[in-house]
Amino acid sequence: MTIETKDELRQKVMDLLRDNVDEPALLDKCGPDDDLSALGINSLTFIKLVIATEMEFGVSWNDEDLDFRNFSTINQIMNYIRLNQSEE
């Protein structure tokens, strides 16, 4: 998969989040560096989000390397995806 522009990436991440958090309505109020735990992301939804991300972007993480902290803000998720895409 090709590397999207930053805006495209953000849009996709937002869509993913919208599909995978308890309260999507709150997402619009969430800034790019705000803590996503306020949206109800816990250790289980986190994995759900990871899997959705993997499928969407064609990346694949080793379970051992998955770290909740890489998914705590929108910007972090974006950076993490870009980092992993470029590695592949």
Partner 1 sequence: MDKLASQIFEQVAKGQLDEKAALQLLRTLKEQQTTESKEIAIIGLSLRMPGADHIEQFWDNLTQGLDSIGPLSEERQRDSLSFIRTFTQLPADGIQFSHGGFMQDIDKFDYAFFNLSPKEASLMDPNQRLFLQAAWEAIEDAGYGGSRIQGSKTGVYIGYADWPAYGQYITKNQPSQIPMASIGNTPSIIAGRIAYMLDLQGPALLVDTACSSSLVAVHLACMALRNAECEMAIAGGVKVCLMPVDGLFEIGIESANRRTSAFDDSSDGTVWGEGTVALLLKPLSQALRDQDPIHAVIRGSAINQDGTSVGLTAPNAASQEKLLIRAWKDAGVHPETIGYIEAHGTGTKLGDPIETDGIRRAFRHYTKRKQFCAIGSVKSNIGHLDAASGVAGLAKAIVSLKYKKLPPTLHFTRPNRNIPFESLPLYVSDRLEPWETNEEHPRRCGVSSFGFSGTNCHLVLEEAPLIGGSTADTKQDQEPDLGDQPRLTVLSAKSRPALERLMHAYIHRLPELDGSFADLCFTAQTGRGHYSCRLAIIADGISSLRDKLSAALEAGLEKLKDAAESGEGILYSEHRTTSGRREKRQQGEYTSDELKTRSEAAHQLIQQAASSGAGLDMAGIEELARLYVQGAAVNWEELYEGQRRSKLHLPVYSFEPSRCWIDSAADTYTAWSMPMAAESYKEAGAASSASLNRSAADNAPMLKGRADSSYTSTELRLAALWADLLGLKEIDIDDDFFELGGNSILAIRFEVELEQAGIPFESEQLYRYSTIREAAAYIEQQSGESVISPVVLPNIEPFNDLYYRNCFYNSFFPVVKHFGGSILPYLINDLLLYQQADPEGTQAYELCYEEIEPQETLFAQMNLSVQPRPAYGDIDIKQMIIHNLSQGNPVIVWVDCYEIPFRSDAYQKQHVDHTLLVYGFDRGTEMFHIIEHDRRENLSYKPCLIAFEDLVRACRGYETQGQQQEQGGAYYIIQHQPGAPYREPELDELRQRFESHLTQHRHRLQESLAILQQFAAWFIEVSSTEASLKQHIDSIIETLNQVLNAKQVEAYRLTALYGEGAILAAHHECVEHWETIRKGLVRFFYVPVYQTERIEAIQAKWEQLLTAEQQFLSQLFNELQPI
Which residue from 6, 8, 11, 22 is in contact with partner 1, where contact means CB under 8 A?
22
Q: Which amino acid is at 56?
A: E
Dig out the tokens for 12 from the structure. 């996709």
Instruction: Assess 28 for contact with partner 1 (CB under 8 A).
Output: no
The mark string for 54-73 relative to partner 1 (x by CB under 8 A, - otherwise) is -x-------xx-x-------
44 binds partner 1 (CB under 8 A): yes
Measured distance CA(84)–CA(88) in Å, rounded: 7
CB of 44 to partner 1, least distance (A): 6
DSSP tag of 2 = P
If one asks whether residue 37 binds partner 1 (CB under 8 A), the answer comes out as: yes
Q: How far apart are CA 88 and CA 85, in angstroms?
A: 5
Q: Is residue 79 a contact residue for partner 1 (CB under 8 A)?
A: no
Spatial neighbors of 56 by CB under 8 A, at least 6 apart, are 12, 16
CA distance 68 to 75: 14
Which residues are near partner 1 by CB under 8 A? 22-23, 37-38, 40, 42-44, 47-48, 50-51, 55, 63-64, 66
